[in-house]
Amino acid sequence: MKAIKFFLAAIAMTFAMSANAEWKLDLGDGHFTVNADFGVYDAASSWAGFGLGATYQTEVFTSDWVTLDWDVLHFEWNAPFDSPKYANDLNFKTGLRAYSPSFAKGHLRAYTNLDLGYDLYLEKDGFTDKVESYSGFGLDYGIGLQLNKKFSLGYSLIFAKFKFANCKGHYATIAYTF
């Protein structure tokens, strides 16, 4: 039994190190981000899943030591690979993203983000087609390194607190800005 648990944990870590791609489009003072992500999401039991989302983000403060952006609205849909029509997780969040000053001859800068909001989990029974819904608090936290104006690498944690369980997802992020 321990070998099976170890094997499942190794598979989960493999998926946890998968990628989250982002595409950004400038819209005047802010920009619109569309993202697709893959990783391990832990609802009542662990499942490997994917997500699609969008964020509208705008800069709110700049100084010599930090740039602060507001994630005005972040929406994301997550589902397991094997049964997206039976389990869906919808996120509606807002938050802040901070960037460090550039370093390494102006090529790199670090970032961190924290988004808080509402999480809705929908689960459909495969036999009766009855849909159960659970809602709760949601949190997204990320850290990373922006390699230049176009590419960044990082880590993202998605957390949700529902009546039936605490859920979390782990993602390694690779982002590209258009």
pLDDT of the residue at 56: 82
pLDDT of the residue at 22: 45
DSSP 22-85: EEEEEETTEEEEEEEEEEEEESSSEEEEEEEEEEEEEEEEE-SS-EEEEEEEEEEEEEESS-TT
Note the pTM of the prediction, 2 decimals: 0.72
Q: Which residue has the tokens 């370093």?
A: 103
Domain 2-176 has CATH 3.90.1150.10: no
Kindly report, residue by residue over 71-84, the tens digit of the pLDDT.
888 888 878 877 77
pLDDT of the residue at 19: 41
- Residues 81, 121, 71, CA angle at the centre, nearest 5°? 90
Using 50 as the pLDDT threshold, list the residues of the chain that sit under it. 1, 3-27
